[in-house]
Structure 1
């Protein structure tokens, strides 16, 4: 079994729960409350700043020049997404990027990024790749799945199109190819750690959408 097959098998129940979540159902039929989408965008802006740092660490740990360039480019792309697409979404809500940046980082966002950064800094290159992979792969699968239906709400349709786009899909295929190459080189113990990190951050992906749906705040 290839490593990517093993990884996906480990999180297939999580992915099924993601597809069934009312946040995504509301995206496609246009019924998602705009406040839930705003919560998502603001928290995603916070998340992407730390995700870019995680990708930069992947670049620093990468063994080959091609991988260094690829992850460095993806880190820049994460910042560009935060500054571009999110700014456009926030403008639709009458907000600015500066206002969003001043809003608190909510519990799920903090937990996810803390785990992500701890793993990429403390683990091997392979473990770092496993930790950042769900944000590539699950978004690509979700975008691909939702693209045909799109959404009657233009903001939601734009979000779906971004992740269903072939350019993004090609980036994800590149990371999946790298993951399978790593699977041929690493020890069984490191492979188990990759599965653990991949599974954990996949669960955080579900939690991230759920937090937006619930309008999560700090309880105290």
Structure 2
């Protein structure tokens, strides 16, 4: 069993819940309320800014020059997605990216990014990779799963195509190959920490979609 096999087996029940979530089902059949998708886009814009920072820390901690460049490129790509795709989505709602940026970071987004940044700053390079990996891998698997179905709603179809696209899938394969290389070198205690971080941020992925479905707000 490869290390990525071990990681995926740890989150199979979480991934099954993601695929079964009404937010994901609503994307493919076109029934997802637009205000739920808008909630997702706004919070994802906030999330990606901190995710880019987390990837930049991965680049700083990477011992191999090739991985430094790769994570730095991914950090730039995360910001480009925030500025490009999300601006386009906000435009479809008759709003601007600036309006999205002015909205508050909501509880699930704040919790996810806080955990992510604390882990990448405070942990080893392998722990940092484990924490950022679900955002690569789960989106790739969801995109791949939904691509054959697409969506009757052109906005949702565009989102699905972005993550099902072969370019994104190739990036994810690169990170998975790195993860397997790291797994060969990990002592048992660090291996357990990587699995724990990977599982935790996978749970946050489900929570992120659920927060959009519920149109989460600060309770007080």
Using structure 2 for the length normalisation, give the TM-score: 1.00
After superposition, residues 50-69 of structure 1 pair within 5 angstroms as: 50-69=50-69
Q: Deviations over 1:50-72 (max 9, x none)?
A: 00000000000000000000000
1:200 corresponds to: 200
1:109 corresponds to: 109
1:217 corresponds to: 217
Tell me which stretches of 4 or more aligned residues in structure 1 moved more than 2 Å.
none
Q: Give, in angstroms, the shift of residue 94 of structure 1.
A: 1.0
Q: Partners in 2 of 1:95 and 1:82 — Cα distance?
A: 15
The residue matched to 2:47 in structure 1 has which SS? helix
Structure 1: stretches of 5+ with no match in the other structure: none
2:171 corresponds to: 171
1:84 aligns with 2:81: no
1:12 corresponds to: 12
2:154 corresponds to: 154
2:120 corresponds to: 120
Q: Give, in angstroms, the shift of residue 186 of structure 1.
A: 1.2
Q: Partners in 1 of 2:104 and 2:147 — Cα distance?
A: 31
Q: Give, in angstroms, the shift of residue 199 of structure 1.
A: 0.1
Q: Give, in angstroms, the shift of residue 2 of structure 1.
A: 1.1
Q: Give, in angstroms, the shift of residue 205 of structure 1.
A: 0.1
Using structure 1 for the length normalisation, give the TM-score: 1.00
How many residue pairs get matched?
A: 220
After superposition, residues 20-59 of structure 1 pair within 5 angstroms as: 20-59=20-59
Q: Partners in 1 of 2:95 and 2:203 — Cα distance?
A: 30
- Provide the aligned C-alpha RMSD in A: 0.3
Q: Partners in 2 of 1:160 and 1:29 — Cα distance?
A: 12
Structure 2: stretches of 5+ with no match in the other structure: none
2:2 corresponds to: 2
1:138 aligns with 2:138: yes
Q: Deviations over 1:100-159 (max 9, x none)?
A: 000000000000000000000000000000000000000000000000000000000000
Q: Partners in 2 of 1:6 and 1:194 — Cα distance?
A: 11
